[in-house]
Structure 1
């Protein structure tokens, strides 16, 4: 199984259950890469940095791109499937959503660093919550979902929409759809 086939993205709007699902997949024994955006916001806030989505979206996007490229390279060292909490194409979607011109190098990265499968979490009002890092409202979550859908499709990915179901059911859906087993990182 080459890297592209082993690399699986979970994307969608904020507050749609992606990170919770990644944590559940990790409990089932699967490797994962953490979301760049939340970690960058936390780090920038801790140091008084300006690379925040509401302060300098371009700098924020550059940090996300660097984080996601590093995560991709680190995942190459792992065995078996790796689940990504967002991926490099999300940077393109973020820039589009923010009405910021996309630099050529970001587009190039999205073409070079490919993933095998993309699951997209639809907006889900019943579980959506704001917090210190997630300042978007539900309408922006919907617009983010739309931007990610358009971006991934434009890059040639086929999206598999996650059901609005319990975490356990979503986990089972992802594993079954990807041809994987719970508590076993080997493909079926």
Structure 2
């Protein structure tokens, strides 16, 4: 019992010695060592562990906030706003601040899933296969629905069998290229952007 009391007494006195409040009340400067504890002295910024820092753009809207991505052994460990950016000046909204959580979430799907027609299950497929399939189905739909002229002979070169719905994260340059490729190249008439809806 005495041993337990001594142990408890030692822990309490150790806590009181380490606790910054009594030192500050005794008159030590708050800005100096008085504000630190053994635990806080041992803390190190997690960014010290990073062996590489890269830049990125937040994927959640069209504002285009710049981000700094800190990585260790090729894996991201922290994402924060880039203070050099004139757009966000180092700040991020709650969605942008949550980029790392979305990136590392175990729920994130990072491979191609395909469900064949009339199938009741999804299959994992290689990305090259998926890109080739998208290209083939796009060409097939365009070829089957492409109209060169109207009944009165006017040239229209268009298809109503395809459409594009862009996202709010697309910037002006990307939207320009989409309009040129899909409208001028493929003849799509139905080109819309989710940001207008």
TM-score between the two structures when normalised by the length of structure 1: 0.24
Report which of the two structures shows the higher radius of gyration computed on alpha carbons: 2
Higher helix share: 1
Give 1 or 2: higher strand fraction. 2
Q: How does the TM-score come out when normalised to structure 2?
A: 0.24
